[in-house]
Amino acid sequence: MIANPVLKRLDEVAEAAARRYPYYRQLEEGKLTFQHLPIMDKGIINANRELLEFPSDGEVIVSHTSGSTGTPFRCMKTREEQLTLAMAIQRSRRRAGMPLNGRTQLLGNSLFADPRMVSFYANQICRQMPHLIQGRCSGLYELAIYFEQKKLQVPDTLLCVQNWGEYVQPGQRKEIERIFGVPLLDYYGMEELWMIAYSGPSGNLQIDESLVYVEALDPHTLQPVPEGEMGELVVTSFVMISLPFLRYRTGDMGRILRNGGTDGPSLELMPFRQSQIKLPDRDIYASVLRYLDRFYQWLATSLGVKQFQLVQEAYYTFRLVIAGGSQREEELEEAASKLRQLLKKILLVDELSISVEWTEQIQPHAISGKCQPFVSLVP
């Protein structure tokens, strides 16, 4: 249940939307409340841009994304919006110990395009002595392994490393923090509205309620799930006006924990978006694979696996790709047996073909640059 002060603020957002945007004005019946706002996604916004874009007297910065959904989307922000969002990110970093004018090294997707780029970024870091290195978790891992293999000295200035745009795989986190000797901070956000949550003092993702309100909804019914239960994350931005994001579907699965503490609500993300496992008689959201958390933890702790990817090759055929860790045949067979038993319970299917494949590195998606934990090859 939404607390009264929060609900009041959300209702004010809904009322402002009805005044500001023709799209919401045409939906208004009397007084538009937050809970009567429709659930939005990229497709709905793309189809109604003329009714949603709010004219600005100043310059508008435009970027593009398809995220992990494959839906092309034009993002827009005014200078004022961008400044507000950037300052919020800086506040989160400063709480983690980053100095006001700290130096940052950004790892681009080019790191995955050419093996020589790992060497390039490592040399940049040794030369520029950053306080923070930010990049996708898999990229930070590759860089950390390179530092260790080449016996490079980690700069004394380094205070933390930051993941963005990718699920933090436990095995990779452990190695990144061991080699760099600093904490791995996590950033969760979207190109559309930037930061949603950032690592707090306890290490959990802390929702920034000055920027957004986050709901967890059942992806089928789009109704709120019980407090603390897993659901699709739906965000409402308090900052974005040039293009509103009100009850906007992220496609990500997570659990919101509102424990009443001074740090505000925290967020637990799951590695699977709303991709689907396809069976002959039904489709199943890949989010059900959240029940494999303990299995993936076992891979990381018992087999030393640094990265994983589950691939559905046919209706009843799955391949688990693991990077790093054990290559011993008996342990790979044990992993296949454990996974088979778990998937039987989840999918309610008796006969499954499960294989486990070891590789040195799982390649990221060619467009997004993200390593996808689940991939379906079934048309």
Same fold, 4-91+187-272 and 275-376: no
Q: What percent of the chain clears pLDDT 70, i.e. is strictly above it?
A: 88
pLDDT at 238 over 90: yes
CATH architecture of the domain 275-376 equals: 2-Layer Sandwich (3.30)
* Segment 309-326 mean pLDDT: 90
Among 3.20.20.10, 3.50.50.60, 3.40.50.1110, 3.40.50.12780, name the CATH number for the domain at 4-91+187-272.
3.40.50.12780
pLDDT higher than threshold 90 for residue 103? yes
Q: Is the pLDDT of residue 260 over 70?
A: no
Of 273, 297, 295, whose CA–CA distance to 285 is shortest? 273
Q: CATH topology for 97-182?
A: Rossmann fold (3.40.50)
Average pLDDT estimate for 164-182 = 89
247, pLDDT greater than 70: yes
Minimal CA–CA distance to 358: which of 327, 312, 318, 329?
327
Judged against a pLDDT cut of 70, whether residue 246 lies above it is answered with yes
- Are the CB atoms for 205 and 268 separated by under 8 Å? yes
> Are residues 258 and 131 in contact, defined by beta-carbon separation less than 8 angstroms?
no
pLDDT at 70: 46
Burial class (CB in 10 A: 0-12, 13-18, 19+), 142: buried
**Highest averaged pLDDT of the listed ranges 70-74, 80-84, 114-118, 200-204:** 80-84
Q: How confident is the model at residue 223 (pLDDT cuts 50, 70, 90)?
A: very high
58 versus 249: the higher-pLDDT residue is: 249
Region 346-372: mean pLDDT is: 78
- What are the E-state strand segments in the chain? 60-65, 73-78, 104-106, 132-135, 160-164, 184-190, 194-199, 205-207, 212-217, 230-237, 248-257, 266-273, 276-279, 282-285, 307-314, 317-323, 353-359, 374-376
Give the start-to-end residue ranges of the domains of the chain.
4-91+187-272, 97-182, 275-376
**pLDDT beyond 80 at 254:** yes
What's the average model confidence in pLDDT over 334-351? 89
Task: Read off the pLDDT band of 290 (50, 70, 90).
Answer: low
What are the two backbone dihedrals, phi and then psi, of residue 7, each rounded to the nearest 5 degrees?
-60, -40
Q: Using alpha carbons only, what angle is made at residue 358 by residues 170 and 171, rounded to the nearest 5 degrees?
A: 10
For every residue of 325-346, which 3-state class applies, written as one string? CCCCHHHHHHHHHHHHHHHHHH
CA distances from 209 to 85, 169, 214, 239 (A): 12, 26, 8, 11
Is residue 216 within 8 A of residue 233, CB to CB? The reply is: yes
- pLDDT score at 39: 96
Query: Which of the two residues, 368 and 106, has the higher pLDDT score?
Result: 106
Paired residues of 309 in beta bridges: 321
* CA-closest candidate to residue 183, choices 173, 198, 191: 173
Q: What angle do CA 212, 246, 215 make, to 5 degrees?
A: 60
Predicted model pTM? 0.74
- Tracing tokens 């700290």 back to the chain, one arrives at 102
What b/e readout covers 31-69, taking b as 16+ CB neighbours within 10 angstroms? Answer: ebebeebeebbbeebeeeeeebbeeeeeebeeeebebbb
Half-sphere exposure of 281 (CA within 13 A, CB side): 3
Does the pLDDT at position 22 exceed 90?
yes
Q: Does the pLDDT at position 229 exceed 80?
A: yes
User: What is the reported pLDDT for 191?
Assistant: 87
pLDDT at 365: 63
